Amino acid sequence: MSDTIYDLVVIGGGPAGYVGAIRAGQLGKKVAVIEMERAGGTCLNWGCIPTKALLKSAELYRTFQKAESYGLSVKEVGFDFEKVVQRSRGVAGQMAKGVEFLLKKNKVDYFTGKAEVTVPGMVSITEGEKKGTFFRTKNILLATGQKPRALPGLPVDGTRVMTSREALAAKAPPKTMAIIGAGAIGVEFAYFFNAFGTKVTLVEMLPQVLPVEDEEVAKLLQRNFEKQGIAVHVGTKSENIRVGEKSVKLDLVKDGAKTELEVETVLVAIGITSALDGLFSSKVKVELDRGFVKVDANYQTSVPGVYAAGDIQGPPWLAHVASFRAVQAVEGMFGHSKPKQVGIFPGCTYCQPQVASTGVTEKAAKEKKLDYKVGKFPFTAVGKAVAAGDSEGFVKVIADAKTGEILGVHIIGNEATELIAEYGLAMNLEATVDEIHDSIHAHPTLSEALGEAALAVHGKAIHI
């Protein structure tokens, strides 16, 4: 039994866990974090950060292949896949050390091991070097995040069947790959492996890739992927998956028609589920909702003194949303401020072209019978994009027809994930499209498309 009585014990050291712990430390509280693997959690070690390192290598490789279009002479372009992966792992390691430093700086005690809520007010480590250690605490924050959802009857072996985690440690690109699921994870890995020579087949059961995004964005991304050589099948089910010694066979079923596909590897990217295994003893009964931990307006679970934040709560499953939720939970539990709920947030996909959005899609606006107007501006009319040789895509703004209030923004193109921030701020400040286009955007920049799209809502865009 630890002699220390903590103000807060956080279970999980990912974007929700470590951020919540640091905020509690800033408030002068005695805090401990227990992380099963390494500080930073899945996002930093096996998700957001290492995948972006891989995608940067893929993007650069693709750029080198078209060097002649920039007036450059490159005699030979090649790659060392093992080094690409090693760089990704190195980036993750560097960032994890940074998180460990921040925890120490804020006087947060950090422990590695698998934790269990033994009873309210007590946490124990059930696996790891500190196994058998008990922590007494006034509050508990559950931030164990998520894990990839598996396909029933299809065990992951890391060779024939992978999830994103195994793909991040691949030693070589497979010759052929089927990716089941075309959400952000599936789309990003499709771009990455295709860039390094894998013949990729991307399969999505719903009618479009990136199902949560605007239809126009999804259609353009699919066309772009097909130009890159990726076979895209939407509205298609993957059935009868047979794993052999040297390949995997599966049936692609669309509108009753069946086609057999044989590939070297299958990557399953059908979504995620809460990481709840071993989190509660038999004495702790936390209410769940469709497999996720149910919380109230204060982020408190059905068990008093036990809170939850991040992916464990359910969608949206985004690192930046998880961090926001954790800060709100901590500030609320210690009476610093009234907790806020997630409102406006950006969704980002880091393939090329990039995709970013916030607010409602046009389809959702129609379903809600909103009175809206659309402003759309292509990057082909933006000087900076043309000069950079990367002008595919557009900015699409959905605004209230009467007031000009911004209801949703959808961007596909170069640096879309960076550009979306302006509209997120604007929507939080309840700005209108008039205030966007009245803000002078530097020339030449990609951000000019943001202002022109706002003008386009009124049919006043200058450069189209």
Contact at 8 Å (CB) between 220 and 376?
no
Catalytic residue among 336, 410, 443, 463: 443
| CA atoms within 13 A of residue 156's CA, in its CB half-sphere | 15
What secondary structure letter does DSSP report for 384?
H
Torsion of CA 394, 221, 358, 351, to 10 degrees: -110
Q: Is 463 one of the catalytic residues?
A: no
Q: How far apart are CA 180 and CA 242, in angstroms?
A: 14
What secondary structure letter does DSSP report for 75?
S
Torsion of CA 100, 105, 106, 111, to 10 degrees: 30
Annotate 78-89 with b (16+ C-beta within 10 A) or e (fewer).
Answer: ebeeeebbebbb
| Angle (CA) 161 166 171, round 5° | 100
Label the pairing between strands 248-254 and 237-243. antiparallel
Closest CA to 42 of 32, 33, 51: 51
> Which of helix, strand or coil describes residue 268?
strand
Closest CA to 35 of 16, 52, 51, 49: 16
Q: How far is CA 36 from CA 6, 23, 265, 313, in A?
A: 19, 21, 29, 19
Catalytic residues: 443
